[in-house]
Structure 1
């Protein structure tokens, strides 16, 4: 088991080779760490900026053993890593951060909301269902319209459908694959916000300013940060973040998606135990961005101040929108971040831009 804080020259392992892994690897490199990536694709975005790529499935025992031998600590770029893989790495004597509790809670939407409510954090009303009949009963209890989601997996609007009438609940359940679901009451919110926060190995917590988010078709399109919010609302978000991080005994950066209600209350929509798309603005808008902050936390270094130094509008570049790279590169207020993905597909996140203005 590694001793913390890890000195420069140590190796950080990353489960997953996508864009978040790439930006984590770049941040780790700036701090003097080497990075080894475990990814199924030999030509992944993260793998091309890492020292080494281990090619294999995330639950491949041989690949996990090789990762344990190569790395001093392991983190992950997405929450659908098999929990058994984290347990296997831990059994091999390797520290994994964030830990297995955060992964387990975030992988199941019922467990997630149950955990949040137990921490005194408010969410929409919800019910679980495992059969068509239970789905109909849950819709009747929650009321329609309501949102039905698969309990596990699904992101960017996938794995969920609205139920407009109780009589349609069984059909929606089957359309979602006939697997266990959560049925949620709609949130009458005025806007969607998020808070990116970090917790270090010493228990210290640093929360970035709130961000305001705009989605299209279930996919994040635009983030404005720091969001214009009152001091009480910002304090409320920081208290929520502290409860979640402490309740999970968390190490690393977490993304917490929030609904702001008309009465000023915040509801948590979901948590993501990793660096988060709504935190990309921090790369050009803060003293230290979310990626370096995450590496600092998992390596046992002191957390940096999460202070904003600029106003940022972050725009995701989907599909062939990234082909306008030359135009973006010519804009003096724009910072271009491309992920190195080989093929542009409709709706695929190919990069993002941060348009930077002086802090108001």
Structure 2
């Protein structure tokens, strides 16, 4: 076990790294962040912030020399960086796990090999594959970049082979995955931790509502049958085992109108839909990430109260700072702002949670508080 007093390394300086840093420092660890942005949210909270690219040899040497273990806050850290570090210090999760999740095609094939279902899909690596792929997948469909797409970016809905061809050009003729759009009843996610000893522990399942391809609200516990909860947790654990994963990860699922559970994607890190754990669970997903990295026993994931988490995007700042008054006056609302220097449309600037013993009341209060946030312009 790596006990408090040691320094932990974090590759990535966004809000997930920031919340990891807070959890680690609360437990008594030092944190060293590597991120090229001098104003990164995690870097501003850490004991040490190395401003360098993720492949910078000097910066990686600094981490390897000073950190007892290293983790990541997003999946697109170069695998070679992780392998370089892993030769000298424990890195969790490892390069092999991230390589599978950095590419939608590899990820979906891995999911299928694990015996789990996905939406029908085909890989489109060149323009001459478009026609056959569309005929196989069917209409309607969505074309997604195989790499680097997130929060609705890098994907285009298509309803014909010609539309798919145009979308392939629009996405830069890079390898893509064409996926069938299904009639969905609900989307859910499972956040879980897996230790180096193979022990897995799941958090309560979240029900997720998206707007414009970006998560808007997570409702916990999810309003789905208990059998579906068990099936989703079993599937998430199966994927963690298939990846030989060590650390904290999340799995997103579709549930069709016919009740079929399909794996959407795997996130090898803490997840936006798991932010409710900061306020509503005995152990947050970020403390659990610290525990997994350091080889500590996992904390209890028990849900203390029904909870609703709502994302705060940069769109809310269009006319100035949001009006936080009503939210901060609510006795069961918890505000989390990420310390980002610039608000942009679609950028995740923070979130808030509302807890209540009655789930319907938590949902109603969360919706009312969100609607009250936009600032009133001076000329109104």
For the aligned pair, the TM-score class normalised by the smaller chain equals over 0.9
Q: What are the within-5 Å matches in structure 2 for residues 133-172 of structure 1? A: 133-172=128-167
1:165-204 Cα shifts (integer Å, max 9, x gaps): 1122221100111111111112222011111111112211
What is the DSSP-based 3-state SS (H/G/I as helix, E as strand, rest coil) of the residue aligned with 1:46? helix
Tell me which stretches of 4 or more aligned residues in structure 1 moved more than 3 Å. none
Q: Which residue of 1 aligns with 2:24?
A: 28
Please tell me whether residue 13 in structure 1 is matched to residue 12 in structure 2: no
Give TM-score, length-normalised by structure 1.
0.96
Cα distance in 1 for partners of 2:351, 2:323 equals 11
> What aligned pairs does 1:50-61 form with structure 2 within 5 A after superposition?
50-61=46-57
Q: Contact conserved, 1:144 with 1:166, CA < 8 A, in 2?
A: no
Aligned counterpart, 2:341: 342
1:103 match: secondary structure: helix
Aligned to 1:222: 217
State the distance in 2 between where 1:72 and 1:190 align: 45
CA deviation after TM superposition for structure 1 residue 311, in Å: 0.9
- Of stretches 76-85 and 129-138 in structure 1, the one that deviates more from structure 2 is 129-138
Q: SS of 1:95's equivalent?
A: coil
Counterpart CA distance in 2 for 1:260 and 1:305 is 27
* In the alignment, structure 1 residue 291 sits paired with structure 2 residue 286: yes
Q: Secondary structure at the match of 1:264?
A: coil
Shift of 1:346: 1.7
- Residue of structure 2 in register with 1:356 after alignment: 355
C-alpha contact 1:122 1:266 (8 A) present in aligned 2: yes
Report the 3-state secondary structure (helix = DSSP H, G, I; strand = E; otherwise coil) of the residue aligned with 2:193. strand
For the Cα contact (< 8 Å) 2:80–2:95, is it kept in 1? no
Instruction: Say whether residues 1:312 and 2:307 are aligned partners.
Output: yes
Aligned residue for 1:296, secondary structure, equals helix
Q: What is the match of residue 119 of structure 2?
A: 124
Matched, 1:85 2:84: no
Worse-matched range after superposition: 231-240 or 272-281: 231-240
CA distance in 2, matches of 1:325, 1:96: 39
> What displacement does 1:261 show?
2.1
Residues 147, 186 of structure 1: 8 Å contact kept: yes
- 1:150: how far off? 0.7
Find the aligned partners of 2:116 and 2:22 in 1 and give their Cα distance. 34
Aligned partner of 2:372 in structure 1 is: none
Contact between 1:195 and 1:210, CA under 8 Å: does it hold in 2? yes
1:244 to partner: Cα distance: 0.6
CA distance in 2 between partners of 1:331 and 1:221 (Å): 20
Unaligned runs of 5+ in 1: none
1:301 equivalent in structure 2? 296
| CA distance, structure 1, for counterparts of residue 49 and residue 42 of structure 2 | 9
Q: Could you list the per-position Cα deviations for residues 220-240 of structure 1 after superposition, in whole angstroms to 9, with x for gaps in the alignment?
A: 111111112222111101110
- Structure-2 residue corresponding to 1:209: 204
Q: Which moved more, 1:341-350 or 1:8-17?
A: 341-350
Corresponding position of 2:376: none
2: CA distance, partners of 1:306 / 1:263: 30
**Aligned residue pair count:** 355
**Counterpart among 69, 81, 90 of residue 73 in structure 1:** 69
Counterpart of 1:255 in structure 2 is 250
**Cα-Cα RMSD:** 1.3
Q: Alpha-carbon deviations, 1:248-269, whole Å to 9, x = none?
A: 1111111111111233331010
Partner residue of 2:378?
none
Deviation at 1:359, TM superposition (A): 6.3
CA–CA distance in structure 2, aligned partners of residues 213 and 313 of structure 1: 10
Question: Per-residue CA shift, 1:41-92, capped at 9, x if unaligned?
Answer: 122111111110011001111111111112111101000111111111123x
How far apart are residue 295 of structure 1 and its match?
0.7
